[in-house]
Amino acid sequence: MTRVTRAVAVTDWLDRVLPRPLDPVRSIKAKLGFLLVASGTTGLAYFWWVIGWVPPMTSVTAIGLALFTSQVLAHGMTSPLREMTAAAGAMARGDYTRRVRATSRDEVGELALAFNKMAEDLAAADQRRRELIANVSHELRTPITALQGVLENMVDGVAAPEPAALRTALGQTERLGHLVADLLDLSRLDAGVVPLRRARIDVADFLDEAIGHAAAAAAGAGREVRFRLEPLPGPLAVSADPDRLHQVFANLLDNAARHSPRGGAVLVTAEERAGQLHFEVSDEGEGIPVADRPRVFERFTRGDRSGGGGTGLGLAIARWVVELHGGTIRVREPATPAGDGRGGCRIQVSLPLTTVGTGEAA
């Protein structure tokens, strides 16, 4: 047993054995007063026992002055605790703006600083919760309103149940389904309960399939976009969760198709460098402003690229999946940026890779 361990054990034992007679007293200032009076009386009793005499008026006056001084000084010691009590009550009512004055350098001051930090974190969490509710409400309202309008027109006889109207209703229903799926993934992200079911993935076959699905979805939405896979430098394989990784590329390819100009191209590349497998999805759209690039992977962040719809959760979920695999995702600088810092969007996904070629990926 080390010296520190022994000291902690002795402290715990003393805390259990020693009495706590002042626990019923509800004021720290009163406890300090009792402490001072008890200590002074004990000292005077010993003085009287040894000397055989003690001046009564002088002793009472000294104890009174000491008690008064302790109450004045204790006010500054206990005021942060009273402020924390009031602030905690305000937080229970939903007010996270209260802060505690933290000027002392003792344990109470450290507690006040920790309390203020906790209040800031709670305020930020409450703000994110409010933004989440507002954004989800907005995202749900748009397809529900459109779907309700289509169905009302059919019921009232204003529009016949023709394929075009049914396709519109189906599109809005699919949009609702995507939003619900994104929200479920978001809840799993927060709970951290999603395991990875890794399998060996052939990169060429995987990208061909992802691009095929993206091309079909773009054609169904009426987007005239070309998808192109750059020839791979050789056989590549990676150990990953196929469903989750497909979710990443479905989001990236859908974003690229949605923001590409009519007749534009979406390019997908993959290569191995320094033990990392680097994927890149680039489009010929308006790009992402430099100021928005650090925030594009945050929830419900869509910036100037929001004109094509979407829930604003796709890139946040993509980052979550990539990080679950131990990788990184980032916005790269366009190959030929325009004067405003745009010129197409390039998203790079990097995954750990230990084996390339016909061997098993780690």
pLDDT digits (tens, 9 = 90+) for 91-103: 888 888 888 887 7
d(CA 136, CA 128): 12
The token pair at 349 is 């996904």
What is the structure's pLDDT at 339? 45
In degrees, to the nearest 5, what angle opens at C-alpha 206 toward C-alphas 201 and 210?
145
* Residue of higher predicted confidence among 14 and 261: 261
Q: 326-332: list long-range contacts, CB under 8 Å, 24+ apart.
A: 326/351, 326/352, 327/276, 327/351, 327/352, 329/248, 329/297, 331/288, 331/293, 331/296, 332/280
* Residue of higher predicted confidence among 139 and 226: 226
What is the structure's pLDDT at 323? 87
**What is the arithmetic mean of pLDDT over 301-323?**
65
What is the structure's pLDDT at 259? 86
In contact, 250 and 214? CB cutoff 8 Å? yes
The token pair at 136 is 């989800």
The answer, yes or no, to whether residue 121 has pLDDT greater than 80, is yes
What is the structure's pLDDT at 184? 76
Q: Output the average pLDDT for the chain.
A: 77
In contact, 328 and 350? CB cutoff 8 Å? yes
pLDDT tens string 239-296? 888 888 888 898 899 888 888 888 889 999 999 988 889 999 999 888 888 877 777 8
Q: 260-265: list long-range contacts, CB under 8 Å, 24+ apart.
A: 260/223, 260/225, 260/284, 260/285, 261/285, 262/223, 262/224, 263/224, 263/225, 263/226, 264/225, 264/226, 265/225, 265/226, 265/227, 265/228
The answer, yes or no, to whether residue 1 has pLDDT greater than 60, is no
The amino acid that residue 210 corresponds to is A
- Which residue ranges make up each domain of the chain? 20-122, 134-191, 199-352
Tell me: domain 199-352, CATH 3.30.565.10, correct?
A: yes
In contact, 235 and 357? CB cutoff 8 Å? yes
Equal CATH topology for 134-191 and 199-352: no
Q: Which residues, listed in sequence order, are joined to residue 349 by a DSSP beta bridge? A: 279, 329
Buried b (16+ CB within 10 A) or exposed e, 245-262: bbbbbbbbbbbbbbbbee
Kindly report which listed range (8-12, 118-122, 260-264, 300-304) carries the lowest average pLDDT score: 300-304
What is the structure's pLDDT at 281? 93
Q: Read off the pTM.
A: 0.55
In contact, 197 and 246? CB cutoff 8 Å? no
What confidence category does residue 56 fall into, taking pLDDT thresholds of 50, 70 and 90? confident
What is the structure's pLDDT at 277? 92
**Residues above pLDDT 90, as percent of the chain:** 9
What is the structure's pLDDT at 198? 86
The CATH classification of domain 134-191, taken from the options 3.40.140.10, 3.20.20.450, 1.10.287.130, 3.30.70.1290: 1.10.287.130
What is the structure's pLDDT at 266? 92
